[in-house]
Amino acid sequence: MAGVTLRGVKKRYPGGFEAIKGIDLDVPDGDLCVFVGPSGCGKSTLLRIVAGLETASEGTVAIGGRDVGALGPAERDVAMVFQNYALYPHMSVFDNMAYGLRNRGAARPEIEARVAEAAAMLDLSALLARKPRELSGGQRQRVAMGRAIVRKPALFLFDEPLSNLDAKLRARMRVEIRALQRRLGTTAIHVTHDQLEAMTMADTLVVLNAGRVEQVGKPADVYARPANRFVAGFLGSPEMNFLDGEAGPDGRIDFGALGSLSAGAGARAPVSRKVVAGIRPENLAPAEGDGPDRLSLTVDFVEELGAARLVYASREGRRVVVHTAAHGGWAPGAPLALTAAAGDVRLFDPQGGAALG
Amino acid sequence: MPPRANLRAIALHAALILGAAALAVPIWLAFVAATRASADFVAGDVGWLPGPHGFANFWTVLAAGDSADGLPPAWPMLLTTLVVALLIALGKIAVSLPAAFAVTYFRFPFRSLAFWTIFLTLMLPVEVRIVPTFQVVADLGLLNSWAGLSLPLIASATATFLFRQTFMSVPDELTEAARIDAAGPLRFFFDVLLPLSRTNVAALFVILFIYGWNQYLWPLMVTTEPRFYTIVVGIQRLALAADEGTAVWHYVMATAILALVPPVAVVVGMRKLFVRGLVETEK
Amino acid sequence: MQAKRVVFPHRLLPALLVAPQLAVTAVFFLWPAAEALWQSTLREDAFGLKSTFVGLANFRDLFADPDYLVVIGTTLVFSFAVAGLSLALGLAAAALADRARKGALLYQTLFVWPYAVAPAVAGVIFLYLFEPSLGPLARAVGPAWNHKLIGWQALSMVVMAASWKQVAYDFLFFLAALQSIPRSLMEAAEIDAAGPFRRFFTVSLPLIAPTGFFLLVVNLIYAFFETFGVIHATTLGGPGLSTTTMVFRVFRDGFIDQRLGASAAESVVLLLVVAALTVVQFRFVERKVHY
């Protein structure tokens, strides 16, 4: 059992490219920490630095309070699940899972007991004699998990382990991995580019962009109070609506011809400051009555999702999308008045994108 | 199938079979000659069909020899050829596998220098450097020895290149998984890399075996003791005698058949491996 | 030259692993090659007792020697004849086999086995087939055939023996190239109403041209060097110089006539030829990667 501490970690490649630009992070013991970000943000590099597969150019990595900077990947007591699983194609499922134990000199009965235990946990007991090519994608994925858990390591490292599965299986494995990690109580770092996967699995969410940490926190907090425009836009689908506006008196944000909305008490800006207002599609609703907090637009088209629908509306080239469960008369071309609760209107600096207030 | 397409298919196969037959004609005629008696050659009526002396001729050539014509039995030569072919094939694989592993999976000082030194040998067939190589082997006292026969032919980089290519296509994640599984480089080599490269090793073995079996110039030069004669060299000495007028063509052709059957059998029997090895080596 | 992205950190181990290969390379390749270079600048006296440094004189003499110029000519004729003949026959057979949907594997076997026959053995067999008084093919030609006396006949014989073996090789590569052409491309051509011959010449042939070029280089290298066995086992370079190739001449000067300086200079010339061919081939391979 061990937490992970990163201090001032940087990674520069020989060509001068800086993939990691200085990261400080504490992953508490037993936590499932998810690194999420667009491709090229450095999340996999950071994971590989923790694994010992790459060395940091600067900074320290500690696992369970022990500085592991000088240790090879085998000495760090970590187990990793790779994106393409990296199963040894010529070995049986049993041998794949036993290989790391054998190399560490475990006794035969212990190896058998541990593999059997892991196999039972992952529903692989009947497949132990098979070769990886005789398994389905989901089964391979479970073998890769099994190879990690038989070792009973101090830390799991998951490098996009679900990205090669189809959507349905991915949803199931999210739940299974989450449950497994909780049951074993082992600290885990999970890397993904999929924000839904990140939101659903994480105890701690770490949003990375261009080699830096943008925000760390519980998924719900990060979602509700994004630290900046990048995080706000990256989490959530469809993406948060961003509208350029100007702060008026009483926390009112003026969007010109579109109308105006009130921003919450936590998101105040000085009068006549230019701001970018961010409103999530599910926080927009048809305006009832005649209040001042309204945006006047025209419906462009509607995407039917079954349980809900996405309404695209615009005015003068500025577009918003609304995620709503309501069945309304959303006819294309019809006028649409929208409103949002003051607390759901986030404000960002047009330069730099930092959250205001 | 419409009749016209049918006809076209028949013509196509007929042309292919005809071509294959034409390719086989030389060997067929050699076989016919190997089944004839000496007198048939003198009389000039060997023809296109086998005669009755096949067994006798092959037996003479293989086991008994014919002292009157200075013909030693062929089986020791076949054995020598087998040993040489195996030495060359296995030796080359044994030397190339670690070398390819080293230049692919490590960064060490002078790696590029080592690589290019090995690479240079690709450009120099043994035939080009034959005279100085002979002198070097003579200086080392390796004439008439197994080492002298095989080592200079092992010194070429084709196998190293093929293995390097094979290794480059092994996913990096497997190496990383092995490192996390506490496998050092040698354990990784024997437990993961070698089993994964099995087919390529086997394919290359087939190619190298034929390469070794068919060596001619080098064995001709470094061996003067009959016990080191390979079958391919032996047949040339015989053919020169026949060409000078001794009527032993039936024995020469029987020996030729004996010399070509093993490598042809290997190619036909392991066609898939052979084709793979050949096409991939040259890629 | 690249290594893996993922490498092991050791330093001594790789040196040990690469040592055997470097050792055989140094002893049996670098040393002889250096000797050849050095000897090409030396000349031995008539008794082989002492040698003197003569600079590039051996090379000057070599290219002033009309015989050597004849040998170069013979080598070129021989090599291009072998390459041309085996390329043409290999391509024809491969084109037919590619169109035969059934039995492609059988034909692969039927055409590929001659590759396994040693050049020297092929030479001996052709020597018998064309033996002027009793060879079955010589008799088919008639009394006009006597390669022992007529130079061009001797050359034709060794060309045939050398090509016979190489057809198999070219067939194999052409077939692989033809089979790698996407079926949909041929179907598109068929829909464009191109007949089988037109399809072959306008679609297949341009697509396999890179393979053809690669094979040309490989065939030339084969004809230059590996055919030594064919010539040594049949004509011994004769009659006259009619079948003496450059490699054969290195052998004769070095071992039979003991003209070591001349032989070494010829080795160096061959070295340059093969280096040039290799460079051409690698250039081409690099291009193929981008293609």
Total structural domains in chain B? 1
What's the average model confidence in pLDDT over A316-322?
91
Residue B187 lies in a domain: yes
Residue B217 lies in a domain: yes
The overall average pLDDT reported for chain C is 83
Of the partner residues C97, C250, C278, the one whose CB lies closest to the CB of residue B122: C278
Tens of pLDDT, residues A287-297 = 887 778 889 99
Cα end-to-end span (Å), chain B: 39
Same domain, A113 and A187: yes
Same domain, A44 and A15: yes
Same domain, A212 and A342: no
Of the partner residues A72, A84, A89, the one whose CB lies closest to the CB of residue B196: A89
The residues in A 129-168 lying below 8 A from B, measured between CB atoms, are 147
Handedness of CA B106, B109, B111, B117 (dihedral sign): negative
Between A144-148, A185-189, B6-10, B50-54, the lowest mean confidence (pLDDT) is in: B50-54
What's the average model confidence in pLDDT over C6-29?
86
Domains and their CATH numbers in chain C: 66-290 (1.10.3720.10)
Instruction: CATH number of the domain at A271, please.
Output: 2.40.50.140
Query: In the listed set A216, A234, A252, which residue is the last one of a domain according to the structure?
Result: A234
B chain contacts of residue A85, beta-carbon cutoff 8 Å:
173
What does pTM read for this prediction?
A: 0.83
- Burial category of A275 from C-beta neighbours within 10 Å (exposed 0-12, middle 13-18, buried 19 and up): buried
Query: In the listed set A234, A255, A270, which residue is the last one of a domain according to the structure?
Result: A234
Whether residues B216 and C120 touch (CB distance < 8 A) is answered with: yes
Of the partner residues B176, B181, B196, the one whose CB lies closest to the CB of residue A99: B181
Same domain, A223 and A248: no
> B243 — contact with chain A (CB < 8 Å)?
no
- CA A89/CA B140 separation, integer angstroms: 46
Q: Which chains touch B (3 or more CB pairs under 8 A)?
A: A, C
How far off is chain A from B163, nearest CA to CA, in Å?
18
> C268 — contact with chain B (CB < 8 Å)?
no
> C217 — contact with chain B (CB < 8 Å)?
no
Same domain, A226 and A253: no
* A contact test, residue of B176, B179, B180, B187 with most A CBs within 10 A: B180
A chain contacts of residue B179, beta-carbon cutoff 8 Å:
52-53, 72-74
pLDDT confidence of residue B283: 44
Chain B CA closest to residue C138: B44
> B180 — contact with chain A (CB < 8 Å)?
yes
B chain contacts of residue A104, beta-carbon cutoff 8 Å:
182
pLDDT confidence of residue C288: 46
Same domain, A64 and A118: yes
> B194 — contact with chain A (CB < 8 Å)?
no
- CA C171/CA C184 separation, integer angstroms: 23
Same domain, A18 and A124: yes
- CA B72/CA B251 separation, integer angstroms: 11
Same domain, A216 and A275: no
* A contact test, residue of B170, B173, B181 with most A CBs within 10 A: B181
Instruction: CATH number of the domain at B104, please.
Output: 1.10.3720.10
Residue B7 lies in a domain: no
Q: Where are the beta strands (DSSP E) in C29-153?
A: 42-44, 51-53
Query: In the listed set A203, A218, A234, which residue is the last one of a domain according to the structure?
Result: A234
Tens of pLDDT, residues A53-110 = 888 999 999 999 899 988 888 889 999 999 989 999 999 999 999 999 999 988 999 9
Tens of pLDDT, residues B203-256 = 889 888 998 998 888 888 888 888 888 888 888 777 777 767 666 788 888 888
How far off is chain C from B135, nearest CA to CA, in Å?
8
Tokens matching residue A55: 């060395």
Any idea which residue has 């013509």 for tokens? B11
pLDDT confidence of residue C290: 34
What's the average model confidence in pLDDT over A31-43?
93
Q: Is the pLDDT of residue B282 over 80?
A: no
What is the full DSSP assignment across chain B?
A: --HHHHHHHHHHHHHHHHHHHHHHHHHHHHHHHHTS-HHHHHHT---SS--TTHHHHHHIIIII-BGGGTB--SHHHHHHHHHHHHHHHHHHHHHHHHHHHHHHHB--TTHHHHHHHHHHGGG--TTTTHHHHHHHHHHTT-TTSHHHHHHHHH--SHHHHHHHHHHHTS-HHHHHHHHHTT--HHHHIIIIIHHHTHHHHHHHHHHHHHHHHT--HHHHHH--SGGG--HHHHHHHHHHHHHTT-S-HHHHHHHHHHHHHHHHHHHHHTHHHHHHHHHHHT-
Same domain, A285 and A230: no
Residue B60 lies in a domain: no
Of the partner residues C2, C128, C228, the one whose CB lies closest to the CB of residue B33: C128
Confidence of residue A267 (pLDDT cuts 50, 70, 90): low
Residue B214 lies in a domain: yes
Q: Is the pLDDT of residue C45 over 80?
A: no
What's the average model confidence in pLDDT over C267-291?
69
Instruction: CATH number of the domain at A69, please.
Output: 3.40.50.300
pLDDT confidence of residue C289: 37
Write out the residue range of the structural domain in which residue B116 sits. 76-224+272-279
Write out the residue range of the structural domain in which residue A322 sits. 241-356
How far off is chain C from B14, nearest CA to CA, in Å?
10
Same domain, A193 and A214: yes
Per the CB < 8 A criterion, the answer to whether A40 and A83 are in contact is no
Of the partner residues A72, A86, A104, the one whose CB lies closest to the CB of residue B177: A86
Q: Which is more confident, B179 or C4? A: B179
Same domain, A8 and A94: yes
Total structural domains in chain A? 2
Same domain, A191 and A120: yes
pLDDT confidence of residue B123: 64
Residue B168 lies in a domain: yes
- CA A22/CA A356 separation, integer angstroms: 24
Residue B247 lies in a domain: no
Tens of pLDDT, residues A110-135 = 999 999 999 998 999 999 999 999 99
